[in-house]
Structure 1
Amino acid sequence: MTTYTRSTSHLQGDPLVRGIGWASALLGASQVVAPAGFARALGVNATSRHRSTTAAVGVRELVAAIGLLGRPHPAWLWGRVGGDLMDLMMLTRALKNHNGRGFGRTVAATATVTAVTATDVYVAMTRTHRSTPMELTAITTVTPPPDEVHALWSDLKRLPDFMAHVDEVLVTGPRTSHWRASAPFGKAVEWDAETTQDVPGELIAWRSVEGSDVDNSGEVRFEPAPGGQGTEIRVTLRYDVPGGALGKAAARYFGEEPHQQLDDDLRRFKQIAETGEVIRSEGAPGGKRARGEFPQHPARPLTDGELKEALA
């Protein structure tokens, strides 16, 4: 059986975090080794006070580099953001008190630090695992009976066929599975889940195990539709949104509204349950592009045989 382990830190090996760490190391080393030259490169006089300030900032950068490259944690990222703001304040003061010589270099340095600050804020926000609990519910009706619908949903390997953000589900045991899914800003998340209830034709319930990238749980209930015409599916999902309310708003801004996602997933499941595949209209893109499309066949007229069968 394949086993899966999660790193002690979700930042280990993150290319952006490591890039910032190495940038801090190089910047800090140059400031500590040659504070006078670095001060002049910023367009300020290499006075004793400026050299001392430059060296102190260099020590701060080296400490941040050690943290980010050795034991990365969001606190180191937010510490860099705080340091960036201090640097901007000092550069702004230098611009106000400038005597004219090297003014262009100071302007360029201020613009560079502003861009670096924006980058650090983005990385800190997207790598900070704050969360906001969310619960989603949705209902749809399909024509097959509850037993068939339950059996289709129980086939975990087929879930990516209709769940837009789920890339892969691997069965790891009688009641356990490993999930890999797409997340906002091009990131990916993985977690292990366990089935907590499985009543044929009635209910499937699950929850993620402790330490998962995304804490989640949910249930799917299968009930006979009114008049015995198929199955009514009731889905309830509970999970924590990475990034808190800010992450939730950002995801919505980029077209990743959770409620709409669930409705779309159920629409695709309905098509699979009733026709065996997801159907799209002519001209619509195929493939899992933009997290919203799936390998689908274009809508087409019925063949003579299909038409006769439908009219029979």
Structure 2
Amino acid sequence: MINGTVTVHPRADSSLRHDPVTRGLGWVSAALGVVQLLAPARFARNLGVGDAPRHRLTSTLVGIRELGVAGGLLGLPHPAWLWARVGGDAMDLSLLVRALHDHDGRGLSRTVAGTAATVAITLTDLYAAVTRTTRRTSMELRSTTTVTGTPDEVYRFWSRLDRLPTFMAHLEDVRMTGERRSHWRAAAPFGRDVEWDAETTQDVPGERIAWRSLDGADVPNSGEVRFVPAPGGRGTELHVTLTYDLPGGAVGKAVTKYFGEEPAQQLDDDLRRFKQVFEVGEVVRSDGAPHGKRARKEFPQHPARPLDDDERKEVLA
């Protein structure tokens, strides 16, 4: 019997504090703010709009806004501050367009140049805001199955990472790259592949294996497998917990579910295949079962048969 659950935890991307684009835009806001506050008349003249009182006041107010945004981007970075820059750019462009409409011709080239520069800055700010407004979905999957075998036997089978692709349908390759490190490659929706390096964080023979992906993973993830003696000596309960950032957030989850790649169902299917491979020696599939996704075609259909003594020893080796 397979029992699975899924929990979704939306969270904001916390990488903006060290993002060079975000920090660069923060320093741009700071520089503009200081100039506009200290020399509002000169700033207005450089834009070719003159230094009338209303222009000096506008320059001062824009300078205060820029310093506020700079403080947010450099002190407490969040996508909202990037969108604040985009909103400020829109205000600046509207003021410059109005200035071009009412211009008397003196300093027109400077106003045109200022407008062009503001358009370029607006596009940069918009790009930064869109690409940094990422809502990752931290998804936790849990599933349990009971396997006929002792915890030590089940642990020995699972701890051979190169065997995992034999029952994990979307896992294409796992290879060891160090004493506690490995490289993983898996099939993703829409024909894509994702890869990551992982390290084993806990390895207690017969009890627990835990791991986490390293920096640079296409899909950051972590997981744990616990091997618990089943009540009444009926084998081993396999408790699997996986946590990973689902690409595309809630929208991505809905799309993958629509195309038959629902994550919770994937884990349940993987454990069902693990039980079959461990107990029977191969994945049992009926002649009428669909192949489904490309990775699932790797599991040929054969009638069920018990293992002979040599095969049983190989499975448990």
Give the TM-score taking structure 1 as reference length.
0.55
Q: Hey, what does 1:180 align to over in structure 2?
A: 185
- Pick from 167, 189, 195: which aligns with 1:162? 167
Would you say 1:232 and 2:237 are equivalent positions? yes
Q: How does 1:1-312 map to 2 (within 5 A)?
A: 75=127, 130-284=135-289, 289-299=293-303
Alignment check: 8 A CA contact 2:195 2:217 kept:
yes
Q: Distance in 2 between matches of 1:186 and 1:246?
A: 18
**Structure 1 segments (4+ residues) deviating >4 Å:** none
Alignment check: 8 A CA contact 1:129 1:242 kept:
no
Residues 59-102 of structure 1: per-residue CA shift (max 9 Å, x gap): x9xxx9xx9xxxxxx93896xxxxxxxxxxxxxxxxxxxxxxxx
Percent identity over the alignment?
Answer: 61
Shift in Å at residue 245 of structure 1?
Answer: 1.1
Select the structure of larger CA radius of gyration. Answer: 2
Q: Distance in 1 between matches of 2:135 and 2:170?
A: 20
Code of the aligned partner of 2:229: P
Give the TM-score taking structure 2 as reference length.
0.54
Residues 15-65 of structure 1: per-residue CA shift (max 9 Å, x gap): xxxxxxxxxxxxxxxxxxxxxxxxxxxxxxxxxxxxxxxxxxxxx9xxx9x
Alignment check: 8 A CA contact 1:130 1:242 kept:
no
Q: Distance in 1 between matches of 2:172 and 2:243?
A: 19
Q: Distance in 2 between matches of 1:300 and 1:270?
A: 13
Q: Distance in 2 between matches of 1:187 and 1:210?
A: 20
Greater relative contact order (Cα 8 A, min sep 6): structure 1 or 2?
2
Shift in Å at residue 212 of structure 1?
Answer: 1.1
Q: Hey, what does 1:49 align to over in structure 2?
A: none
Alignment check: 8 A CA contact 1:219 1:235 kept:
yes
Alignment check: 8 A CA contact 2:151 2:227 kept:
yes
Code of the aligned partner of 1:75: Y
Alignment check: 8 A CA contact 1:278 1:294 kept:
no
Alignment check: 8 A CA contact 2:167 2:270 kept:
yes
Shift in Å at residue 276 of structure 1?
Answer: 1.3
Shift in Å at residue 231 of structure 1?
Answer: 0.3
Code of the aligned partner of 2:273: R
Structure 1: gaps of 5 or more residues: 1-59, 68-73, 79-123, 307-312
Q: Distance in 1 between matches of 2:140 and 2:305?
A: 40
CA RMSD of aligned residues (A): 3.4
Alignment check: 8 A CA contact 2:172 2:295 kept:
no
Code of the aligned partner of 1:137: R
Structure 2: gaps of 5 or more residues: 1-118, 310-317
Count of residue pairs the alignment pairs up: 193
Q: Distance in 1 between matches of 2:255 and 2:193?
A: 16
Residues 124-169 of structure 1: per-residue CA shift (max 9 Å, x gap): 9xxx965210101000000011111001111111111111111111
